[in-house]
Every structure is written in C-alpha cells, then in structure tokens.
Amino acid sequence: MAVRSPILNVMVGAAEKASRTLKRDFGEVENLQVSRKGTNDFVTAADTRTEKTLQYELAKARPAFGFIMEESGVVEGEDKNRTWIIDPIDGTTNFIHGIPHFAISIALMEYGELVAGLVYNPVFDEMFLAEKGQGATCNNRRLRVSSRIELSESVLATGIPHYGRGDHPSFLTQLTAAMSQTAGVRRFGSAALDLAYVAAGRFDGFWETGLKSWDIAAGILLVKEAGGFITEIDGKGDCLNGGSVLASNPRLHKPLSNLLTGKKTERLRAR
C-alpha cells in the first residue's frame, strides 16, 4: 500500500481534519463539558464535534454513502450498498480522564463486506490503515500479526466489564483461565486500538464481549489484512454483529478459543 487508494485518502483526510480540534480538546480535558449517556457511558462535547466533522468530510467526498455512527445512529444514503461505520472517540473514558489512549475509527462497508478501515490515535500520531486485499500498515509500515505459537509466551488484551455492563462472573472465569496459561493480560480501554495492536503484533490476542459494530469494524479488517484470524469467542460467527470478538494470529486462535470457552486446550507446537 505504498500508494493510497482514493478511498483511503478520503478517510485519512477526514481523520486528520477531525483530530485537530480533538487534540486541542484533549489538552484542555479538565475544562470539557461532560454529560452522561447511560450508566458509566460518557459523551463529551469533543465526541459529538468529532463525529460531525467526520460525517461532513466523508459526505463531502462521497455524498451518496450512508452512515452508522455511535452518537447519531444510522443515516441512510442514496447508495444503499455503501456505508461508513464511525466511532469518533473509541476510548472516551480514557479521553475524559486525560489518558492518551483513544482513537478515531472509520470503516467502509460495501455490499455487506468491510473493504477499508482506519484507526488513528491522534496523541501519538499513529495511523493504522487497511484495505481489502491490500494489506495493513501503520504510518506506511507493513503490519503482520505476531508469530508466537505458545500460549505461555503470549500477551493478550481484553475489555473488562465495568459498573452496569456485562456478565462479570463469566468474564472472571475467562480471565482466570487466561491468567493461568499466558504471559500476561492487558486492559487498555479501546477495542479499536486493541485490534490495531493485534494487527501490529504488539498483542498476541484480544477478546471482549458486548461491543458494537463501530467499536471493531475498522479493527476487524486490520487484523485480517495483517494475516490474523478474528471471530466470535467460540471461534464461529460474524463478530461484527455477534456480540463478542476474539482476534489473534492463526496458530493461537483455536487454543485461545478453547481456553476462553472452557474447552480442553491442546498444547500447540510448531509444525
């Protein structure tokens, strides 16, 4: 992907435009007006403003496309076969607490299939990009998932259900299993970046439940285009709308699925 396609150029331009005010807002995070949207689910003025900028820039370039957005919901387009899927700030809780780990996430779906994805952390200026059949990059560097084959050497990422969210006992069972068999488990607070880090080989795997399409759409394509596997936790199904996600390199995927679902985990060796 030395030369970006027109569609990726549109996505990058929108993300860069939106990130200018987002970085400024982050620098003044203590002064932001913060309101609640449900239990422990925050919306900031920056969240709404970022989404509006992304929508405007993307619609300006591709006016017929529809939208699925975290804050504004579904906006039908004249072209029923092409839809942008947007999360303006994935990791909003990190953002409003001054933690520099959050991202803009944009994906394009055509005829029901993800064809382009972007995850951008504006604080560290890391731009993760993927296009179907063209691979994945971070700041123009080609990405590949990790090559580890032993669970005992693997570092995983996850999302921990918090107050008012998720099945805590079920998660603790999964976490206990993962802790007993791996080199470590991390919780960073942004599913989009967790998936980007799997694509980059920084994490060997990632799992979480209760996610929405805008949290993971771009990350799904990043993982696939970096040579990884991504499904629901049980190893089956459509993780974009299925409610759970498990991403890893191809050699670890089945052992991780077995581990997290309580099946007997086979010891995996190179073949």
Say yes or no: 47 and 110 in one domain.
Answer: yes
Say yes or no: 230 and 251 in one domain.
Answer: yes
* Residue 2: CB atoms within 10 Å: 6
Say yes or no: 115 and 12 in one domain.
Answer: yes
Please tell me the total count of domains within the chain. Answer: 2
How does pLDDT run across 124-133, given as a tens digit for each residue? Answer: 999 999 999 9
List active site positions. Answer: 70, 87, 89-90, 92, 215
Dist CA 223 CA 249 (whole Å) = 9
Say yes or no: 40 and 168 in one domain.
Answer: no
Say yes or no: 202 and 170 in one domain.
Answer: yes
Would you say residue 101 lies in a domain? Answer: yes
Domain holding 175: CATH number? 3.40.190.80
Say yes or no: 105 and 138 in one domain.
Answer: yes
Would you say residue 269 lies in a domain? Answer: no
How does pLDDT run across 5-17, given as a tens digit for each residue? Answer: 999 999 999 999 9
List the structure tokens of 81. Answer: 């076969």
Say yes or no to pLDDT of 100 above 70: yes
DSSP code string of 72-132: TEEE--SEEEEEEEEEEEETHHHHHTT-S--EEEEEEEETTEEEEEEEEETTTTEEEEEET
How does pLDDT run across 254-267, given as a tens digit for each residue? Answer: 999 999 999 854 44
Mean pLDDT of the chain: 92
What share of the chain has pLDDT > 70, as a percent?
92
Domain holding 24: CATH number? 3.30.540.10
Dist CA 10 CA 133 (whole Å) = 18
Say yes or no: 110 and 133 in one domain.
Answer: yes
Domain assignment of residue 61, given as a range: 6-142
Low-confidence winner among 41-50, 54-63, 220-229 (lowest mean pLDDT): 41-50
